């Protein structure tokens, strides 16, 4: 019976040490996937109103060329209307990218703080460790 108790205490002690080592050794670095996603978000946040229609290559056929020319003229005539909307959309997109970045940073900080024990938790861990040590000493005697 004492050998089973000794074994259980040693196992619990090993598990606590393993957990403490993981907590102390863990650190969150920006993963390459996360960095790539944010780069892609930043690159696609801006919308360009001046996409080229039929430039540098005009579509084949006279009808397609006339359609492309009319599209160019229409876009130029509506530029005064489209540009403010696109600027507003670009500001919104950039704000969303910044907000997502802040949220991701907050999540990373929370993950780090969850992996590091609070002073109260550390005190409890130390108390449990002392109790285990005391039990182990009693068994060894």
DSSP string for 55-124: -SSPPSSHHHHHHHHHHHHHHHHTHHHHHHHHHHHHHHHHHHHHHHHHHHHHHHHHHHHHHSPPHHHHHH
Q: Give the C-alpha separation, 6 to 135, whole Å.
A: 8
Q: How many domains does the chain have?
A: 1
The tens place of each residue's pLDDT in the chain, 141 residues long, gives 456 666 666 776 677 667 666 655 554 455 677 778 878 888 888 888 777 777 778 888 999 989 988 988 998 899 899 899 999 999 998 898 888 888 888 887 787 777 777 788 788 888 888 888 887 777 766
User: What one-character DSSP code corresponds to residue 46?
Assistant: -
Cα separation, 103 vs 37, whole angstroms:
14
Domain hosting residue 37, numbered range = 2-48+87-140
Residue 66 belongs to a domain? no
Residue 60 lies in a domain: no
The answer to whether residue 110 sits within a structural domain is yes
**115 assigned to some structural domain:** yes
Query: Measured between alpha carbons, how far is 121 from 104 in angstroms, rounded to an integer?
Result: 26
Residue 117 lies in a domain: yes
Alpha carbon distance 61, 54 (integer Å):
12
Q: Report the distance separating Cα 15 and Cα 9, nearest Å.
A: 10
Tell whether 70 is covered by a domain: no
């Amino acid at each position: 019976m004492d050998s089973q108790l000794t074994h259980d205490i040693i196992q619990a002690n090993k598990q606590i040490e393993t957990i403490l080592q993981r907590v102390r050794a863990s650190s969150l670095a920006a993963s390459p996937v996360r960095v790539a996603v944010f780069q892609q978000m930043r690159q696609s946040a801006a919308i360009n109103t001046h996409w080229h229609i039929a430039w540098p290559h005009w579509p084949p056929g006279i009808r397609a060329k006339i359609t492309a020319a009319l599209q160019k003229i229409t876009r130029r005539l509506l530029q005064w209307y489209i540009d403010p909307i696109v600027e507003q959309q670009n500001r919104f997109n950039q704000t969303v990218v910044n907000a997502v970045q802040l949220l991701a940073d907050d999540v990373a900080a929370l993950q780090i703080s969850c992996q590091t024990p609070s002073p109260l938790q550390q005190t409890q861990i130390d108390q449990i460790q002392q109790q285990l040590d005391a039990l182990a000493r009693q068994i060894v005697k």
